[in-house]
Chains A and B, each alone.
Chain A
């Protein structure tokens, strides 16, 4: 059975594309057949984050307008045979696609894959409506900042209005040093405010920037953030798992080490 997951946030720049890339890659590394679809027409970036920008021949608009079959447009990932990207056009705008066309396309794709990850554009206009049209569930990405949380709340309301009841939250870019000083909301605070089930927490981590520079999602490596994304992927597959906060465990162990030294 195929699940269509839309990764959305409302606000731009909170890490939707990075999250999409890592969830897609993580699910593929767990043996699932995955297609990632970039729906941010005119501002495509998922291809760059995945390091596949040189392989694009056809795109989403070509498929929808019937210039090619969807299998011709799919780009196979560098590391996994069961991971594909359907890039979007860079030269058109969001009005070139309608929600009905997306639903039709995804109905065609979903028969052969386990997961379809849709990278949603920022905002709540046409592009957002296209991206969520065919989604079964939503992953909402937010950062612990007032603007991002407010937009996330708006998105949650809209998703409910469009009938997408299964929603999960990823709190991205948490700075644990600031949380400890009381100058940044913790993931628990964000969950309190938004009242959505938590999928996982990602710290504001250098490794993510480095991996994006290289065009390899961080989930393929062994870093803390890679493990955090892996834990998110496992929870996507099995909803009964607990959301883990890998970073704060690390913080605690460092502190206890320090105490022992001093004594």
Chain B
């Protein structure tokens, strides 16, 4: 929680609600989430080993965030996650390795 909200909990509540409602509305539709998962699996399959059922999709502050845990040997670290957001969708289409690593945000934990 941002310290700015300490004195104004109502705007914090409003902000939280806005994002809860967006994800509620999308979350009510499992077909949509299934489609998104399949698309991500297809797109990322060329580069890394992932399991479609592991992909966790969330909606936060008007952003679609998919957590994609890596499995298998294509990538060394087991704990590495790609954060794949809707705005970065174009990035996946790049063929060259350098461009790809520059565009995709990788979190090492």
A146-B16, A149-B17, A150-B17 given; A179·B24 CB < 8 A: no
Chain A residues numbered 110-168 whose CB sits less than 8 Å from any CB in chain B: 144-146, 149-150, 153-154, 157
Given contacts A149-B17, A186-B10, 5 further A-B contacts (CB under 8 A): A144-B10, A146-B17, A153-B21, A154-B24, A185-B13
A150-B20, A189-B14, A193-B18 given; A182·B25 CB < 8 A: no
In the complex, the answer to whether A193 meets B14 with C-beta atoms within 8 Å is yes
In the complex, the answer to whether A157 meets B17 with C-beta atoms within 8 Å is no
B26 CB to nearest A CB, Å: 12
A146-B20, A157-B28 given; A182·B13 CB < 8 A: no
A182 CB to nearest B CB, Å: 4
Provide the residues of chain A in CB contact with B7, threshold 8 Å.
182
In the complex, the answer to whether A153 meets B10 with C-beta atoms within 8 Å is no
Q: A54 near B: Cβ within 8 Å?
A: no
B1 CB to nearest A CB, Å: 14
A72 CB to nearest B CB, Å: 43
Q: A95 near B: Cβ within 8 Å?
A: no
A-B contact pairs, 16 of them (CB 8 A): A144-B10, A146-B13, A146-B16, A150-B21, A153-B21, A153-B25, A154-B24, A179-B10, A182-B10, A182-B11, A183-B9, A183-B10, A184-B10, A185-B10, A193-B14, A193-B18
A interface residues, Cβ below 8 angstroms from B = 144-146, 149-150, 153-154, 157, 179, 182-186, 189, 192-193
B101 CB to nearest A CB, Å: 40
Bound-complex Cα distance A144 to B8 (A): 14
Provide the residues of chain A in CB contact with B18, threshold 8 Å.
193
Provide the residues of chain B in CB contact with A153, threshold 8 Å.
21, 24-25
Consensus secondary structure, chain B interface: helix
Consensus secondary structure, chain A interface: helix
Provide the residues of chain A in CB contact with B13, threshold 8 Å.
145-146, 185
B60 CB to nearest A CB, Å: 16
B18 CB to nearest A CB, Å: 6
Report the nearest B residue to A193, measured CB to CB. B17
A22 CB to nearest B CB, Å: 26
A225 CB to nearest B CB, Å: 22
B8 CB to nearest A CB, Å: 4
Chain B residues numbered 68-87 whose CB sits less than 8 Å from any CB in chain A: none
Provide the residues of chain A in CB contact with B14, threshold 8 Å.
185, 189, 192-193
6 tightest Cβ-Cβ pairs between the two chains A and B: A182-B8, A185-B10, A183-B9, A153-B21, A189-B14, A182-B10
Bound-complex Cα distance A129 to B14 (A): 29
Bound-complex Cα distance A153 to B20 (A): 10
In the complex, the answer to whether B16 meets A157 with C-beta atoms within 8 Å is no
Interface string of B1-44 (1 = CB under 8 A from A): 00000011111011011101100110010000000000000000
Provide the residues of chain A in CB contact with B20, threshold 8 Å.
146, 150
In the complex, the answer to whether A150 meets B9 with C-beta atoms within 8 Å is no
Report the nearest B residue to A185, measured CB to CB. B10
Bound-complex Cα distance A184 to B11 (A): 8
Report the nearest A residue to B14, measured CB to CB. A189
Report the nearest A residue to B20, measured CB to CB. A150
A164 CB to nearest B CB, Å: 18
Provide the residues of chain B in CB contact with A183, threshold 8 Å.
8-10
In the complex, the answer to whether A150 meets B11 with C-beta atoms within 8 Å is no
Bound-complex Cα distance A185 to B13 (A): 8
Bound-complex Cα distance A185 to B7 (A): 13
